[in-house]
Amino acid sequence: MCVLLVNILESFLGECRGHNEGKGQTKFDCPSCSAEKLLDNGDGKGKLEINYRKGVFKCWVCAYKNNMHGPIEKLIKKYGNNHNMRDYLLVKPDNNYEQETYVDKNIHVQLPSEFIALSTCSQYEPQYSFAMTYLKERGIDEEIIREFNIGYTHEGKYRGRVIIPSYDEFGDVNFFVARSYSNYIKPKYLNPEAEKQQIVFNHNKINFDATIYLVEGAFDHIVTPNSIPLLGKIMTYKIKMLLTENAKADIVILLDDDAYVDAVNLYKELDFGELHGRIKICKPPYGHDSSSIHQKLGKRGVIKLLKNSRRLEIEEMF
Ligand SMILES: [Zn+2]
């Protein structure tokens, strides 16, 4: 079935540039933005991603500019013909069945049902001012709250916590971090059960054409431009492959000050093959990470910190 589907897509999109059967994900050159460059065989970049298991597509470059996202039927209507549509409808996965098998393989994370986005809720909601006070103390302003859809709940398991959601490449929730804003609520972090190896936190926000910063936690991520939080000090295989295949500019490793050895190890792991020569390291001052720098010195402090990114000398790597 997978092969048939890919054949149908290839018949009007040209050569498939990548295929992950496990996820049902394929890549093609975008018929909209790559055609603007007037190349006969596409630009070879494979920025149009199609997930036939979910039945959706999205171009990483022009999704919103050229309206290149949505159900696969929309893509076929725009660029295929009636034959393509008929073939597709014949072989397209039966949604219910596919979703069930999908859930078996991956734990499907959803935001708590009681989740309320802070940017949309009334200031008279209970707990609202506690959550806002906590964020303000950490230097998180309303712009960041809106950009990352930060929220909270006033009841249920996650009550008393600030929630930072994470979205996958299609804009679906794939994880969240719930940090308590009261010293009485333990543990500090209560995160959902998930297949951590598969999560790229806020995948949909990554700009692969610009410098990417690898940080440790979600609170570092929301104050560091174009960053990916590793949710720890170790990089998953998935993030490594994503960077190797897509990153076009530098990658800066910015772990907490106490994790410098881990940072150097990551540097050595990434500074290889496609990425060789484009890996840098940024060491925060003693006792700090980008979140605490932001809390103390604001945006400017973070920008100043990022300016210290540098390549390692060979003798520093052993
Ligand atoms: Zn495009």
Residue 70 region, left (φ>0) first, then alpha (ψ -120 to 50), else beta?
left
For residue 180 the two structure tokens come to: 């308590």
The first and second tokens of residue 179, run together, are 């940090």
Give the angle subtended at the CA of 257 by the CAs of 254 and 258, to the nearest 5°: 120
Instruction: State the distance from the centre of ligand 1 to the C-alpha of 43, rounded, in angstroms.
Output: 11
Strand 161-167 to 227-229 pairing: unpaired
Q: What is the pLDDT of residues 24-65, one digit of tens each?
A: 899 999 999 887 766 666 777 888 999 998 899 988 888 877
Residue 149 backbone class (left: φ over 0; alpha: ψ -120 to 50; beta: rest): left
Q: Is 128 helix (H, G, I), strand (E, B) or coil?
A: helix
pLDDT, tens only, 181-233: 988 888 999 999 888 888 999 999 999 999 999 999 999 999 999 999 999 88
Nearby residues of 149 by Cβ (< 8 Å), 6 or more positions away: 117, 119, 165
317 C-alpha to ligand 1 centroid (Å): 40
CA distance 193 to 141: 29
Q: How far is the C-alpha of 9 from the C-alpha of 85, rounded, in Å?
A: 10
Mean pLDDT of 111-122: 90
Mean predicted confidence (pLDDT) in 152-161: 92
* Cα 28 to ligand 1 centroid, rounded to whole Å: 10
Give the residue carrying structure tokens 């500074």. Answer: 271
Ligand 1 centroid – CA 146 distance (Å): 26
- The pLDDT value recorded for residue 164 is 98
Q: How confident is the model at residue 246 (pLDDT cuts 50, 70, 90)?
A: very high
Residue of 225, 222, 201, 229 whose CA lies nearest to 211: 225
The residues that bridge with 57 in the sheet, in sequence order, are 50, 70
Closest by CA position to 212, among listed 175, 240, 231, 185: 240
Listed in sequence order, the residues at least 6 apart from 300 whose beta carbon sits closer than 8 Å to its beta carbon are none
Q: How far away, in angstroms, is 64 Cα from ligand 1 center?
A: 9
Q: Is 0.85 topped by the overall pTM?
A: no
Confidence at residue 317, expressed as pLDDT on a 0 to 100 scale: 78
Residue 191: CB atoms within 10 A of its CB come to 17
Identify the band that residue 105 occupies on the pLDDT scale cut at 50, 70 and 90: very low
Measured in Å, residue 148 CA sits from the centre of ligand 1 at 24
Read off the pLDDT of residues 280-305 as tens digits, 9 standing for 90 and up.
999 999 999 999 999 999 999 999 99
- Cis, bond preceding 187 (omega within 30 deg of 0): yes
